[in-house]
Amino acid sequence: MRITVAHLYPDYLNIYADRGNIAVLARRAALRGHSLEVTGVEPGDALEPWAYDLVYVGGGQDREQALIAPDLAARGYGLRRAVDTGTAVLAVCGGYQLLGRGYRGRDGSWMPGAGVFPHETLAGEKRLIGDVLLEADLGGGVMTMVAGFENHAGRTLLDPGATPLGRVVAGHGNDGDSGFEGCRVAAAIGTYLHGPLLPRNPELADWLLGRALEHGGGSGKLEPLGDELEHLAHAVSTGRARSRGGK
Partner 1 sequence: MGLRPTRGRLVGMGMRLNAETSAARLVGRLSRAVGRGGGTTLPGKLLWKVDPGALDALAAKLPAGVAIVSATNGKTTTSAMLARVLGSRYRLAWNNSGANLASGVASTLLSANEADLGLLEVDEFALPEVMQRVRPRVVSLGNLFRDQLDRYGELEHIAERWRAAVARLPPTSTLVVNGDDPLVADLADGRAAALRFGVDDPRLARPALQHAADSKYCIRCGEPYDYAAAYVGHLGDYRCPNCGHGRPALDVVARSIDLQALDASVFDLVTPAGTVRVRLPLPGLYNVYNALAATASALALDASLDEIAAGLGAFTAAFGRFERIEAGDRQILMLLIKNPAGANEAIRTLEEGGVPANLVIALNDRIADGRDVSWIWDVDFEPLLEGVERIVASGERAAELALRFTYAGFPPERLEVIPELRAALDRGLELVPAGGELGLLPTYTAMLELRQIAVSRGLVRPYWEGAS
Cα separations in angstroms, 198 against 39, 75, 85, 194, 236: 19, 26, 24, 8, 15
Near partner 1 in 191-230, by CB under 8 A:
194-196, 199-200, 229-230
Of 95, 37, 53, 50, residue with least CA distance to 71:
95
Selected range binding partner 1 among 1-9, 10-18, 46-54, 69-77, rule: CB under 8 A = 10-18
Of 201, 204, 203, 196, residue with least CA distance to 224:
203
In this complex, which beta carbon is closest to partner 1, that of residue 221 or of residue 247? 247
Residue 71 engages partner 1 in binding (rule: CB under 8 A):
no
Distance of CA 50 to the CA centre of its chain: 17
Is 93 part of the annotated catalytic residue set? yes
Residue 85 engages partner 1 in binding (rule: CB under 8 A):
no
Candidate list 131, 175, 181, 206; residue touching partner 1; CB under 8 A: 131
CB of 81 to partner 1, least distance (A): 29
Beta bridge partners of 167: 135, 180
Cα separations in angstroms, 215 against 165, 223, 227: 20, 18, 25
Residue 14 engages partner 1 in binding (rule: CB under 8 A):
yes
Which of 7, 34, 93, 119 does the annotation list as catalytic? 93
Q: Which residues are catalytic?
A: 93, 194
